[in-house]
Each structure stands twice: as structure tokens, then as C-alpha cells.
A and B are shown apart, each in its own frame.
Chain A
């Protein structure tokens, strides 16, 4: 790729960037296929995206989407337990899966000629999973260990989980992706089978392929392997819109830890829910002004400058499916308290509400996002993931192409407008991690937050 061909490609590099070859297909059974050509290396990534995740769940079965993701590797009649991963490995592939609030996705990255291997296995497990009782029992144990590792024993994650469960009242975003421990313990095999039947079907999935492939050939392979699969009647998940918050919410999370930690979140719209379609992009730029690198305000003023924070961050994702949170977080510097840090962050909020960002700041954020758009093309995985997310939450892969235009169009007035409209005390939730002694002679009062049995 980097010899003769590179020279030829070099001439067209700019043209390629402007006009990326993306092809969209739809199978008769409703499966959507998106193929993006990237001929830089003789590899491809294939990802299957299902419209299901923790925000589709309800109390009592939390974490079920994620457990099902684990069970997807436990075999079908045609390919019994273990065969999936063994076959992908035999073919030099790397594979895994991930579950979020809004989606569950499975992927294989392989040398380009192995695409049919991936399609055959993915198509098979889309409809034919066996979900054996004994494997469920073992795998739920594995997921509980995963929960212990990621959440129970990690004070910052534990704080974040309880923060979200407090910030949201009626929205399913209150549900942790990995599920509450008690729900994992009470998960039934039949629950999993029903969940699989409900959501795993070609008409609830998007297949994304990026790499050194011929789109029509990929389409032919998709028809061959996924084409025969039956559709399901997919009953759309209910909206469960978050109720209007009536004032600031505060919680303290006590857990064995060394460092305090603060998270603050303001309810904010996403691309799918915003009243004005520029609002999410203005919120994106706002996050960039506060935390888009070492020259952004939080790093230059709170970490350096006044040195109130050892670390501080801001983040926002306009491509969530439901109303989301504009987040601020941090750890105070030595000699400063959580209260100092909170005050400093609220001052930052006040400033973005009262004063427009400077032209220089806007230019910096836009220059970074422009460059990032090029850098992200160094990874076929990331390119596929971006399109998969957009399609799965209910937007279009085409939105990835217009993202930059929308960012470029954001003005300082718009950034101030979204700050004034959304960064309001009555939309705010604040969580504080209050460290408890780690000393083994004094076991913590709230270790594991009551989830450990």
C-alpha cells in the first residue's frame, strides 16, 4: 500500500477525503448494509449493530442487553459453543462486542478475503442462538466479576453510576449498562431468550463494512448469508421521556478511596431531540471551549492558572438517542476542597452564559475538529463505528459527513445561547465522592454500596 500505489493515491488524497465512497443497500428482510471503501491496507472490519441497549431495558432486568451480548458467543446449532471465537481466530481475525445505552454491536477485523467467514457466523447467530441454561449460569458469574472490576471496586465509576441514577428520574438512561447486581443475580434464562427474540432480527440491525472491499461483492455476500433470515415484528421501545427536573439534585457517595471526585451534569438535548438543529453542535463547541485540550479554559485556568483542580473536564455527546447530560467533572488540587472546585466550575458556567466565547477560541475548536476528521480516517474501526452509531440511534451515516459543516457554522452567539438555555441550576445534578478509609482495620461503612452478597 505504501509503495507504488501510495504515489498514485497521493494525488487524489484530497479528492478522496471530500468524496468518500460510501454505499448503502437494503436487503428484502430489512437489514441495512453500509459499505465504505478504504483501500489503504488489505483488511476490513465488519460490524453488526442492533438497536437495543440498556436504555431499552426496565427495572428488574437491568443489564440484560449486556449479558445477552456475552451469550452471543455461546453457540448455535450449526456452530456450538466456542466455535465462533475459534473460527475467527483461525482466520487471523480480531473480534469482540460492546454494549451501550443505545446499541449492542459485534465486530470482526480481518484480512479482506475472510469477510464471508464473518458474515456466515454473524448471520447464524442473529437468529439461531441456543442460550443453554448451564452456560447462562456461568456467564452471569463472569458478568458479575466484570461488574465488580469496573464498578463495585472503582470508587469513581461507582460515583458515576449513582450520579446517573439520580440525575434521571423517568428516562432509562438511569439504568447502568452492566445492570444492578441484584438484577444480575435474579436474571432468568427465559428473560434472556425473550430479549433475544424481541430484538435480534435483520430488520432491527445495521451491517457496516469498512475496508479494502468491493461494495457490490460485499452486498452479494450479505444477500447470501443474511438474506435468508426471517424478519421479526419489532415493537418500538416506548419514549420514556425524562420528566422536567424541578431543581438541583445533590448526592454524596461514600466509598473507600484516596481522592475526592466531583461530577456535575446539566440536562441537555441531543441531535434527535433539540428544538433547533444547531443546538447540539453549539453544545459540542461549548464543550471544546471548556475542555478541548490543554489550551481550553478548564486546563489553562483551573488546572494551571488558579491551580484549583488536579484534573478537570467537560464533555457532551449529541449523538445519544435520548436527552443527555452536559458533564463537568474533576478532582481538586492539593489544598483545595470539593467545594472550591464546584465553585470554580460554576464560575466557568456563569462566564459562558454571560460572555460570548472569543473568535480565537472558536477558531481553535474548529481547527481541532477539522484536523480530527482527517486523523480519524487512520482507523477503519472508528469510521465504521461512527456510521454504526448514527444509524442505530435513528440518524443517518450521512450525518458524519455533514458534521463538520454544522460545526463550522456555529457562532459565538449560539454557544452563549445554548449555555444560557441549558446550563441552568434547575437542570443540574451534582455528585460528590466522599473518600472513606482504605485502612483494612476499618472496613468501610458502604463498601460495594450494598450490592455485594
Chain B
């Protein structure tokens, strides 16, 4: 009887754990011997693994050399440990492995996705280690990538959204490291050298400035070995220093940039929130109602559904190390832009004045909470979350607390947070488009 009871208990317990594990990935975390933070989720359903090393080495670290973070990252696989770019690319691709990398304002990362068959995984990781810790920055490859960066800048000049985005960040951030575009300028890219890239790499691609993310079909023991092999092969170095705080905007700015397009792209906003911000969940849920939930959000309802003015009208916060932007925007035919701008401003003002209704709040909570399993439904998405949690020092129970924090938000908190944090009278508005009859500037 006792044994039976015990088995039953175990069975119940097992079921419960399965159910709990079902909803949430179990995050394991430790530090490598030399001190790199590791976040790991074991997932054995598919014979594959994602490994990503994240560094505090994005465009915010460019200093007086805009574009250096981005170009340094792009050069890593163009020559390493004596192998040339062809050999590196062939090395990964003949194993079916995908090498990735990139850099934004905060983060820079290098990643690999491989099958876990040891005949494939072992050589993939060895090669990945070389790219990560022994890049050569060959002169010829540097010069070619430098030219390609310049072409990339030209490409951005034919895209109204890119033009608007650059001006928007400059307007929001003044002399803060977030102000310039991570792709740099023609002059700053031309001024870069392999020595400068090497110095940047040596300063920021170091163990103490790294977070290791592993998701997939490997054991904890394997994951520990992988993390140690990769992160501890880097120089120990130091964490990047804290970035300055973002100053509040003192006045509004409304800039028109003429561009020969049939539509105008409008971006409006100001500094928003940082990761771990006390108002994070309140503003996240508030914005979900205002402009973050696709076609059912207020901004989309007013601009697209009721008036047919735009294909996409939206608002979103980008939480970063320091206050990332709060952006509201749309694109519309040039002669409709004043109307759409007015609707956007009024929609925002009404939201700040009155807040959401209880019904809207409940609907948004239902959407976010009911849809939570969708956020962690693949290895790729989980790896993305681990990178954010690790890089921004969020608590390991961030995901398990997520729905409770959303549920706790009230109408009054949203109204209060919007009044304190969102200031339409001190926003930057950038409009890029062609001339319009109703437009005083043209």
C-alpha cells in the first residue's frame, strides 16, 4: 500500500513537473572559471544546438569612430587563426552549420547553430572558437568590407524609413552614444583601420564582457565544456563601463526632410524605458493597448481601420541599457500626412489624459497572458530571451514572473506612468517625404 501510494505521489509529481516544464524553459546559469556568465536551456527534442556569445560591444561603444563596432563584428569571420574567409565559410557550410553575427546599439554577438551529431558539432565548435577568439582582421578583407559598408550607407539613403530613423535617433539622443547610427558615416567609415578594429576587439570581446547562451540537445556537462572552451579562450579583460544616462528632451523638434517618394514616413517619440525599469511592465501593457497589438491597437484603429490612411501605424518601446526610444509612426501618401499626424498626436494625447478603459486593459492582458506560450515555443525564441536576460542582468525568473507582472498592471498605473514618462510637447517628430500642397515647408 505504502509503495503504491508512493508511486502515485511520484506519478502526480511527475505530471505536475511536466506541466510546469511545459510552459516554461528551465534556465540554468553559472559562471565559467574565468568569469563569463552562462545561460543554458536543455532541449533534447531536436538534434541541434544554438550557441550565442553576446558582448557589450555594440554601436554605443563606437566613441569617436562611428561604425567601428559594426565593422569589427563583420570582420570576425573574414580571417581567423590563419584561415581565410573562404576556408572559414566552407568549414561551417560543409558541416551544415550556420554561423551568425551582428551588432546593434547595445549588443554585439556571434552565434552558431549546429546539428549535435558529434562528427558535426565538434568541428563546428572548434571553428567557431577560432572566429571568436583568434580573428586576424586581414587588410584586404578589411578594405573590401569597408567599401561594402559605404555601399550600405548609400543604400540607406534611398530608403525613406532609414533616413527618418537616423534623424530620429539623432534628435532623441544629442551627444549620447545612442545618437549615431551603428552603421557610421561615410567619413567615419573611411577613417577606420585594421589597427583600430583590433584595438576595439581587444577591449570589448573579452571574457568579463561576455554572456554565453546555449539552447539545445546537449547535457549540462557538455554545455559547461562548450561555454568554458569558448569564453575562456578570450582575454579576461574588463566589463565595458556604464553608459551615461539619457537626458530628457528640453523642447520639441519637428523636422521635415524632403525625399522624392509618393509617401511620407513619420516617426515621433522620445526617450522611453531601460531594461529592468520600474515602469517596464506598466508601460509595456499600456503601449500594447495604444499601438503595440497590431490591428486592434488604438493607433491602428484610428489611422488605418477608421480612415484608411496607412498600411502600418504603430507604437513601441525599445528597452535598452539606458532609455531606449519610444517610437510612434506610420507612412502615408504625401498629401495626407498632416491629417495622419494630427490623428496620431490626438490619439496619444487622449491616451495620456484618460488612460485605457478597463475593458481594453483586460483584453490586452488576455492577449499577453494567453499568448505567453508562443513566446517560448522554439529554441530560437528561447535563445533570444536568454541573450536578453543575460545581457541586461534581468532576474533568472524573468519569464516565470512575466505573466504575473502583466496581470498586476492597473488602469491607474498606466495613466500615471504615461503622464510621468511620455511628453508629447517635448517629442521629436521626423517626416521624410515628397512635397505636398498642404505642406508649409515646401
In the bound complex, do residue B85 and residue A6 qualify as a contact, i.e. CB atoms below 8 Å apart? no
CA distance A4 to B21 in the complex (A): 8
- The one of A7, A153, A304 that contacts B263, using a Cβ cutoff of 8 Å: A153
In the bound complex, do residue B18 and residue A3 qualify as a contact, i.e. CB atoms below 8 Å apart? yes
In the bound complex, do residue B154 and residue A307 qualify as a contact, i.e. CB atoms below 8 Å apart? no
In the bound complex, do residue B295 and residue A6 qualify as a contact, i.e. CB atoms below 8 Å apart? no
CB distance from A330 to the nearest CB of B (A): 11
- The one of B44, B261, B331, B378 that contacts A41, using a Cβ cutoff of 8 Å: B378
CB distance from B437 to the nearest CB of A (A): 14
In the bound complex, do residue B154 and residue A259 qualify as a contact, i.e. CB atoms below 8 Å apart? yes
* Closest A residue, CB atoms, query B47: A13
In the bound complex, do residue B263 and residue A17 qualify as a contact, i.e. CB atoms below 8 Å apart? no
Q: Say yes or no: is B333 at the interface (Cβ < 8 Å to chain A).
A: yes
Q: Say yes or no: is A138 at the interface (Cβ < 8 Å to chain B).
A: yes
Given A13-B47, A304-B85, A452-B262, does the pair A145, B331 have CB atoms closer than 8 Å? yes
Given A2-B26, A89-B367, A92-B374, does the pair A10, B44 have CB atoms closer than 8 Å? yes
A57-114 contacts to B (CB < 8 Å):
73, 82, 85-86, 89-94, 109-111, 114
Q: Say yes or no: is A235 at the interface (Cβ < 8 Å to chain B).
A: no
- The one of A6, A43, A82, A310 that contacts B148, using a Cβ cutoff of 8 Å: A310
CA distance A75 to B44 in the complex (A): 43
Q: Which of A311, A333, A374 has the most CB of B within 10 A?
A: A374
Q: Say yes or no: is B260 at the interface (Cβ < 8 Å to chain A).
A: yes
Contacts of B363 in A (CB 8 A): 86, 89-90
CA distance A211 to B436 in the complex (A): 50
Q: Say yes or no: is B440 at the interface (Cβ < 8 Å to chain A).
A: no
Q: Say yes or no: is B12 at the interface (Cβ < 8 Å to chain A).
A: no
In the bound complex, do residue B260 and residue A447 qualify as a contact, i.e. CB atoms below 8 Å apart? yes
1/0 per residue B361-382: CB within 8 Å of A? 0010011111111101111100
CB distance from A264 to the nearest CB of B (A): 20
B1-52 contacts to A (CB < 8 Å):
14, 17-18, 20-23, 25-26, 41-48
Q: Say yes or no: is B63 at the interface (Cβ < 8 Å to chain A).
A: no
1/0 per residue B258-269: CB within 8 Å of A? 111111000000
CB distance from B438 to the nearest CB of A (A): 17
Q: Say yes or no: is B350 at the interface (Cβ < 8 Å to chain A).
A: no
CB distance from A135 to the nearest CB of B (A): 9
In the bound complex, do residue A333 and residue B367 qualify as a contact, i.e. CB atoms below 8 Å apart? no
Given A109-B374, A293-B89, does the pair A334, B260 have CB atoms closer than 8 Å? no
Contacts of A380 in B (CB 8 A): 377-378
Q: Say yes or no: is A379 at the interface (Cβ < 8 Å to chain B).
A: yes
In the bound complex, do residue A304 and residue B86 qualify as a contact, i.e. CB atoms below 8 Å apart? yes
B132-167 contacts to A (CB < 8 Å):
141, 144, 147-148, 150-151, 154-155, 157-160
CA distance A371 to B150 in the complex (A): 34
Q: Which of A155, A296, A310 has the most CB of B within 10 A?
A: A310
Q: Say yes or no: is A251 at the interface (Cβ < 8 Å to chain B).
A: no
B380-439 contacts to A (CB < 8 Å):
380, 434-435
- The one of A43, A73, A334, A377 that contacts B374, using a Cβ cutoff of 8 Å: A43
Contacts of B373 in A (CB 8 A): 41-43, 111
CB distance from A278 to the nearest CB of B (A): 22
Contacts of A447 in B (CB 8 A): 260, 262
In the bound complex, do residue A371 and residue B96 qualify as a contact, i.e. CB atoms below 8 Å apart? yes
CB distance from A47 to the nearest CB of B (A): 15
CA distance A146 to B310 in the complex (A): 7
Q: Which of B92, B157, B308 has the most CB of A within 10 A?
A: B308
> Number of contact residues on A: which range applies?
35 or more
In the bound complex, do residue B380 and residue A91 qualify as a contact, i.e. CB atoms below 8 Å apart? no
In the bound complex, do residue B380 and residue A378 qualify as a contact, i.e. CB atoms below 8 Å apart? yes
* Closest A residue, CB atoms, query B370: A92
Q: Say yes or no: is A237 at the interface (Cβ < 8 Å to chain B).
A: no
A256-305 contacts to B (CB < 8 Å):
256-259, 292-296, 299-300, 303-304
Q: Which listed segment binds B: A223-231, A318-326, A362-370, A387-395?
A: A362-370
Q: Say yes or no: is B305 at the interface (Cβ < 8 Å to chain A).
A: yes
In the bound complex, do residue B23 and residue A14 qualify as a contact, i.e. CB atoms below 8 Å apart? no
Q: Say yes or no: is B72 at the interface (Cβ < 8 Å to chain A).
A: no
In the bound complex, do residue A149 and residue B21 qualify as a contact, i.e. CB atoms below 8 Å apart? no
- The one of B151, B306, B372 that contacts A310, using a Cβ cutoff of 8 Å: B151
In the bound complex, do residue B148 and residue A85 qualify as a contact, i.e. CB atoms below 8 Å apart? no
Q: Say yes or no: is A1 at the interface (Cβ < 8 Å to chain B).
A: yes
Q: Say yes or no: is A438 at the interface (Cβ < 8 Å to chain B).
A: yes
Contacts of A310 in B (CB 8 A): 147-148, 151
* Closest B residue, CB atoms, query A181: B262
> Number of contact residues on B: which range applies?
35 or more
CA distance A142 to B305 in the complex (A): 9
CA distance A89 to B289 in the complex (A): 11
Q: Say yes or no: is B212 at the interface (Cβ < 8 Å to chain A).
A: no
In the bound complex, do residue B47 and residue A85 qualify as a contact, i.e. CB atoms below 8 Å apart? no
* Closest B residue, CB atoms, query A7: B44
CA distance A311 to B370 in the complex (A): 43
CA distance A295 to B371 in the complex (A): 40
CA distance A28 to B393 in the complex (A): 56
CB distance from B218 to the nearest CB of A (A): 11
Q: Say yes or no: is A30 at the interface (Cβ < 8 Å to chain B).
A: no
Q: Say yes or no: is B115 at the interface (Cβ < 8 Å to chain A).
A: yes
In the bound complex, do residue A145 and residue B374 qualify as a contact, i.e. CB atoms below 8 Å apart? no
In the bound complex, do residue B262 and residue A148 qualify as a contact, i.e. CB atoms below 8 Å apart? yes
1/0 per residue B75-94: CB within 8 Å of A? 00100000001101110111
In the bound complex, do residue B43 and residue A145 qualify as a contact, i.e. CB atoms below 8 Å apart? no
CB distance from A368 to the nearest CB of B (A): 5
Given A3-B21, A92-B370, A438-B259, does the pair A146, B147 have CB atoms closer than 8 Å? no
Q: Say yes or no: is A432 at the interface (Cβ < 8 Å to chain B).
A: no
CA distance A148 to B265 in the complex (A): 11
- The one of A3, A42, A333, A371 that contacts B97, using a Cβ cutoff of 8 Å: A371
Q: Say yes or no: is B304 at the interface (Cβ < 8 Å to chain A).
A: yes
CA distance A383 to B17 in the complex (A): 28
In the bound complex, do residue A256 and residue B260 qualify as a contact, i.e. CB atoms below 8 Å apart? yes
* Closest B residue, CB atoms, query A1: B22
Q: Say yes or no: is B223 at the interface (Cβ < 8 Å to chain A).
A: no
CA distance A185 to B333 in the complex (A): 14
Contacts of B263 in A (CB 8 A): 145, 148-149, 152-153
Given A40-B377, A153-B160, A333-B148, does the pair A367, B42 have CB atoms closer than 8 Å? no
Contacts of B305 in A (CB 8 A): 82, 138
- The one of A155, A294, A372, A374 that contacts B89, using a Cβ cutoff of 8 Å: A294
1/0 per residue B87-119: CB within 8 Å of A? 011101111111000000000000001110000
Q: Say yes or no: is B198 at the interface (Cβ < 8 Å to chain A).
A: no
Contacts of A42 in B (CB 8 A): 22-23, 373
Given A40-B377, A371-B115, A375-B113, does the pair A257, B331 have CB atoms closer than 8 Å? no
Q: A1-B43, A145-B263, A145-B332 are in contact. List 20 more A-B contacts (CB 8 A).
A: A1-B21, A2-B21, A4-B18, A10-B45, A13-B45, A17-B46, A89-B366, A90-B370, A149-B331, A152-B262, A153-B160, A256-B260, A258-B154, A311-B148, A333-B151, A364-B90, A371-B48, A375-B98, A380-B377, A440-B260
26 inter-chain pairs at a CB distance below 8 angstroms, sorted by A residue, are: A2-B42, A10-B45, A14-B47, A40-B43, A41-B22, A41-B378, A89-B366, A111-B371, A111-B373, A145-B309, A148-B331, A149-B263, A152-B263, A294-B93, A295-B92, A299-B89, A303-B148, A304-B141, A310-B151, A333-B144, A364-B94, A367-B94, A371-B114, A372-B96, A378-B46, A378-B48
Interface, chain B (partner A; CB < 8 A):
14, 17-18, 20-23, 25-26, 41-48, 77, 85-86, 88-90, 92-98, 113-115, 120, 141, 144, 147-148, 150-151, 154-155, 157-160, 217, 258-263, 293-296, 304-312, 331-333, 363, 366-374, 376-380, 434-435
